[in-house]
Amino acid sequence: MGLDRIRPLDADTFPAWLALAQKHDGVWGGCYCSYFHADTDRTAKDGFDRPTFKRRLVEEGVAHAALVFDGDDAIAWCEYGSPAEVPNIHHRKEYDAGESRPAPWRITCFFVDRDHRRAGVAREALDGALHLIGRAGGGEVVSFPNEPVPGKATSSSFLHNGTRSMFEKAGFTFERRLGKRKTVMRIVVPPAHAEP
């Protein structure tokens, strides 16, 4: 698996993203990957249904994700953005209290089509997000993956932030715990040139 299946979330790929979300009833109770976003100057979350809210953010250029495609179908995503774009992280007060060097980028969530799980697609989406961040100038990236309890089964909905082990394999460094099961992990992504 390489980056050839990765495309950014934009106006052209939004219909494929929406089809994936709709296939799964809006994802996590109808979130449509809007939980981590806040209102913008032009779009208030409570003023629209969730798919429309997300579409408007994409049109404004303040919703970012790496989509993994299988042919014409999006089968996964990894959402990322600036702290201003995705401010609503879990345990935010605890995170802010221990933050000494805010990163310009954060990765907030993943979703993988039920028909493609346990095949490395979430990792593919993570690599895609890091690649797109590099193309946008790179910089430090922070994320908040889960650290499952050994010997305890964990539902996939709990793992919407990914796992510590997946992030470590991608080169992230563990920084600290957050809440009971989340972690703060960090990586520096070098700037990359866009392909011709």
- At residue 195 the predicted structure's pLDDT band, cuts being 50, 70 and 90, is low
Examine the pLDDT at 2 and tell me if it is beyond 80: no
Share of the chain above pLDDT 70, in %: 91
Predicted confidence at residue 64, as pLDDT, reads 98
Closest CA to 115 of 68, 80, 165: 68
The pLDDT tens digits of the residues spanning 113-168 come to 999 988 889 999 999 999 999 999 999 999 999 887 666 655 554 457 888 999 99
Share of the chain above pLDDT 90, in %: 75
Cα 107 to Cα 122: distance, rounded to the nearest angstrom: 12
Is the distance from CB of 148 to CB of 161 less than 8 angstroms?
no
Predicted confidence at residue 29, as pLDDT, reads 84
The pLDDT tens digits of the residues spanning 31-59 come to 999 999 999 999 999 999 999 999 999 99
Burial call 21-33: b when 16+ CB within 10 Å, e when fewer: beeeebbeeebbb
Domain 3-189 indexed as CATH 3.30.1330.10 = no
Cα 35 to Cα 63: distance, rounded to the nearest angstrom: 12
Helix (H, G, I), strand (E, B) or coil at 184: strand
Q: Which residues are CB-contacts of 156 (< 8 A; sequence separation ≥ 6)?
A: 117
Domain boundaries, the chain: 3-189
Q: What is the CA radius of gyration of the chain?
A: 16
Instruction: Judge if pTM exceeds 0.85.
Output: yes
Predicted confidence at residue 142, as pLDDT, reads 97
